Amino acid sequence: MAEHHPLDATDRAIINALQGDFPLVPEPFAAAAAPLGLSEAELLARLQTLLEQGSLTRFGPLFQIERLGGAFCLAAMAVPPEDFERVAEIVNSFPQVAHNYAREHRLNMWFVLATETPAGIAAAVAAIEAATGLTVLPFPKEREYFVDMRLTA
């Protein structure tokens, strides 16, 4: 997990301003820097540092995999606590596992599968069950009411 690096007011302004609408123009950093009162070089250097120190997980396009013909699916497992690390290693080794979180519940491991086709989800669930010997409960989304991950830094 990322260490906590203190963010100054400029870092926060960058994070708050650039969570979307990054300009699609030939010199987008210059265009994005101007309203922040920064130079292109300053913005590039700040972004580099924020990425290196882990304050940003990435910078770029966020793809909507379903619109690209792929699929996402949340899934959960009840992992015996004494076996948790071993199972986490197995689950994380699957490239289809995009995120994996330990959560405090009897269902204590929650992960997101991302595959290039809807059929890939069922295949990944079966493969993870075979590799771990545990039941995987898939929670496909039946409806999306809202998604916007923007948070104020």
Partner 1 sequence: MNAPSPLDELERRLVRATQAGLPLVPRPYARLAEALGLSEAEVIARLQAMLERGAIRRIGVVPNHYAIGYTANGMSVWDVADEQVDAVGEFLGRQAAVTHCYRRPRRLPDWPYNLFAMVHGKSRAEALAQVEHLAGRVAAEFGPEFGNIVRGRDVLFSSRILKKTGLRIGAGPREG
* Contact residue for partner 1 among 34, 119, 126, 131 (CB under 8 A): 119
22 touches partner 1 (CB under 8 A): yes
Quick check: 131 and 90 in contact, CB under 8 A?
yes
74 touches partner 1 (CB under 8 A): yes
**Binding residues with partner 1: total (CB under 8 A):** 85
- Cα–Cα distance measured from residue 36 to residue 31, given in angstroms and rounded to the nearest whole number: 10
- Cα–Cα distance measured from residue 4 to residue 17, given in angstroms and rounded to the nearest whole number: 21
24 touches partner 1 (CB under 8 A): yes
* Residue 108 or 133 having the CB closest to partner 1: 108
- Cα–Cα distance measured from residue 130 to residue 92, given in angstroms and rounded to the nearest whole number: 14
58 touches partner 1 (CB under 8 A): yes
The pair of structure tokens assigned to 80 is 């015996």
* Contact residue for partner 1 among 80, 86, 99, 129 (CB under 8 A): 99
42 touches partner 1 (CB under 8 A): no
* Contact residue for partner 1 among 13, 36, 107, 134 (CB under 8 A): 107
DSSP-based three-state secondary structure for 112: strand
18 touches partner 1 (CB under 8 A): yes
Rg (CA), the chain: 19
